[in-house]
Amino acid sequence: MSRDEIIAANPIVEFVRSRGIELKPAGKNFVTSGCPVASHKKPGHRPLTIEAAKEVWHCNDCDVGGSVIDWIKYEKNVTTAEAMRELGGGRNDEKPRAASTSTKQAKKIATAKFDWPKCVEAMTDKRIEHIAKWRGWPPEFVRELRDKKLIGIHKGLVAFPVENHGKIVGTHVRKKDGNWFHTPDGIHAAPMVFGNPAANEILNVFESTGDGFAYIDKSLGVAVKLLRTFLLSLLCGK
C-alpha cells in the first residue's frame, strides 16, 4: 500500500477515537487534549485540532502535526516505514538489500549525519515557555540552555545532546511516557556524576541532563542559580 492508500484506509477521526481519545466538534473540525507527543492535562484545554476533510492533525502547543502515519511516528518514536507497517502498509514483497558497509561503518555514517543544530532550531520561544511551565524552570533558564545549544527538540520531544570528543554525535530524548532513549542507534552515554567515589563522599549520579537540572531545582533551594551556572559551565567545557 502507498502512503495515500494507508491514510485513506485509516481515517484520522476514527483512528484517534479508537485510542480512547475524546473529540469535540469545532465547526468542520475536531479539537482534543489528546496528543501523541505530550500530555495536556489542563481542564478544558484542547490544543490539538483534527481536520477530517484533509486527514491531518496539528497540536498548537507542541507545534507538530501531520497524517495518521505521523501520529504513530510521534507516539511510538518509530520511522515512517515502521509506522506504515503498523498501519497495514508494509511492503512485504520487497527483499532486504545486502549491506554495502559493515555495521561499524554504518554506525559511523549515521552518527556523522546527525543534525543537532536542527534540533536546537526547533526549540522555539513557544516551546521554551511550554517546557519552563512543565518543569517549573524560569523561561530565561530554558532560553539560556537553548542559546548554549544544550537543549533541543527531536521529533517533537525534548532532547539533550550527546557529545563525543567535542562533537555532537546524537541525542538523549524524553518520550511521552517519561522514558528516555538515545538516537541514532548505537549512541550511548555515561552517567553524570558529582563527587569522588574513592573518597566515600555522597554521590549524585544522573541518567540525563534533564534529571540533573530537576534534582537541582527540587533539592537545593537558594543555591539553584549558582549550581545551574556551574553545571552549565561543565556541560559547555568552560
Instruction: Give how far the C-alpha of residue 53 lies from the chain's centroid of Cα atoms, to the nearest Å.
Output: 28
For 232, which DSSP code? H
Same domain, 138 and 28: no
Assess contact for 160 and 150: CB atoms under 8 A: yes
Residue 53 lies in a domain: yes
- Give the tens place of pLDDT for each residue, 88-116: 754 433 333 333 333 444 444 344 567 89
Largest CA-CA distance found in the chain, in angstroms, rounded: 66
Residue 98 lies in a domain: no
Distance in angstroms (rounded) separating the CA atoms of residues 216 and 16: 38
pLDDT tens track, the chain, 238 positions: 788 889 999 999 999 998 889 999 999 999 999 999 888 888 889 999 999 999 999 998 888 899 999 999 888 888 888 889 888 754 433 333 333 333 444 444 344 567 899 999 999 999 999 988 888 888 888 898 899 888 999 989 999 888 776 788 888 888 887 777 888 876 666 655 555 656 656 666 666 666 666 666 555 444 445 455 555 554 544 4
Listed in sequence order, the DSSP H helices in the chain are 3-9, 12-17, 68-76, 80-86, 103-112, 116-121, 125-135, 139-147, 209-219, 224-236
Same domain, 51 and 145: no
Same domain, 112 and 227: yes
What pLDDT score was predicted for residue 102? Answer: 38
Q: Which CATH number fits the domain that encloses residue 59? A: 3.90.580.10
Phi and psi torsions of 190, nearest 5°: -85, 155
What pLDDT score was predicted for residue 176? Answer: 80
Residue 96 lies in a domain: no
What pLDDT score was predicted for residue 1? Answer: 77
Same domain, 76 and 111: no
Same domain, 145 and 201: yes
Residue 78 lies in a domain: yes
What pLDDT score was predicted for residue 98? Answer: 36
**Domain that includes residue 70, residue range:** 3-86
Residue 92 lies in a domain: no
Residue 195 lies in a domain: yes
What pLDDT score was predicted for residue 165? Answer: 65
Same domain, 45 and 159: no
Residue 74 lies in a domain: yes
Q: Residue 201 corresponds to which amino acid?
A: E
Same domain, 80 and 111: no
Domain boundary (51, 86, 121) is at: 86
Same domain, 77 and 136: no
Structural domain count, the chain = 2
Same domain, 215 and 120: yes
Instruction: Determine what percent of the chain is predicted with pLDDT higher than 90.
Output: 29
Same domain, 230 and 112: yes
Same domain, 67 and 146: no
Same domain, 202 and 125: yes
Domain boundary (37, 56, 86) is at: 86
What pLDDT score was predicted for residue 105? Answer: 41
- Give the tens place of pLDDT for each residue, 70-89: 999 888 888 888 889 888 75
